[in-house]
Amino acid sequence: MIEGALLVLGAFLLDLLLGDPRWFPHPVRGMGWLAVKLESIFRSTPLPLKISGIAVAAFLVGISGAVAWILIAAASAFHPYLGSLVSVLILWSCFATRDLERHARAVLNPLVEGDLEEARRKVSWMVGRDTDELDMEGVVLAAAESVAENTVDGVTAPIFYALLFGPVGAVAFKAASTLDSSFGYKNERYGEFGWASARLDDLLNYLPARLTVLAIALGAVAGKMRVFDIFKAVHKGAGLHESPNAGYPEAAFAGALGVRFGGARSYGGARKQAPVLGVGEKSCSPDTLRQATWLMQRTAWFFIGGGLALSAAVGSLIVM
């Protein structure tokens, strides 16, 4: 158990150092390709859409986990160290702390330079809302909300499943997350077909999202942010979010930063009112995004630190 935890730590450090190199054959891209192929296959069958969606979810998660297991087993058959190396590389591909920081910086830098058009373009890579008419505060709000939400999806939840179930568990989680990104929409095309994908993602993120609030609070303590407002904001608004999980990190970040997330936004020209999260009254500024990025990084450190400490403690109890 302790050895596996050290592999997770090694992959986490590798992610912080290198991020997501574009030359690296990232498994998530393969998962996305396979998800589209499976959708095409099962939509051509006479099965009801909901059953087809369940089958696609089961196949993608199962195949992804099986491929990871086979790669590690094959490498380990040559040498245990090679198996450990492959495990670290697979885990590395599941973590996105550095990549999330890069996306946030790509928005922050043009904002600091006064290039609002470039900031709008870069934030459109992070969010699904319309960005063409966002002012500076709107750009910061969109980017900071994305950082907060993806702190769970891309950072703490993969760590959680990696520590519990190793590389295969982390890959299975990423497959479920890819399914939700591909099919988890409440529209005519995916309302039935994407039901299983959305529910699976909700289930897997349930506990990590809530544990992440504690790591955010520790990060806020380190950054001398509004720690008590985190719990006020979560208690008041987390349950208002349309997602059963995303409201927790978003409300926690809003509380720590002293701002309010949510409000009016546009998707494909259609206006939507998102619930307001947070208890502060500060306006969003480039410094808000800088603080959000810093808090995300510290949250990652506290989350993996707590997980490693717990793994060591459990491993010691097993030995005894």
Question: Collapsing DSSP states into helix, strand and coil, what is residue 272?
Answer: strand
Question: Collapsing DSSP states into helix, strand and coil, what is residue 228?
Answer: helix
When pLDDT is averaged across residues 10-34 and rounded to a whole number, the result is 88
Percentage with pLDDT > 90 across the chain: 85
- 289 has a pLDDT exceeding 90: yes
- 177 has a pLDDT exceeding 90: yes
Collect all residues with Cβ–Cβ distance below 8 Å to 49 and sequence separation of at least 6. 43, 192, 193
CB 36 within 8 A of CB 179: no
| 135-160 pLDDT tens trace | 999 999 999 999 999 999 999 999 99
| Residue 271 host element (H or E) | strand 270-277
Residue with tokens 């990549």: 99
Question: Which has the closest alpha carbon to 291: 125, 127, 159, 143?
Answer: 143
Written as six digits, the tokens of 133 are 């008419």
| 57-106 pLDDT tens trace | 999 999 999 999 999 999 999 999 999 999 999 999 999 999 999 999 99
Model confidence at 320, in pLDDT bands (50, 70, 90)? very low
| 298-309 pLDDT tens trace | 999 999 999 999
Written as six digits, the tokens of 5 are 């935890």
Distance CA 290, CA 292 (A): 5
CB 63 within 8 A of CB 38: no
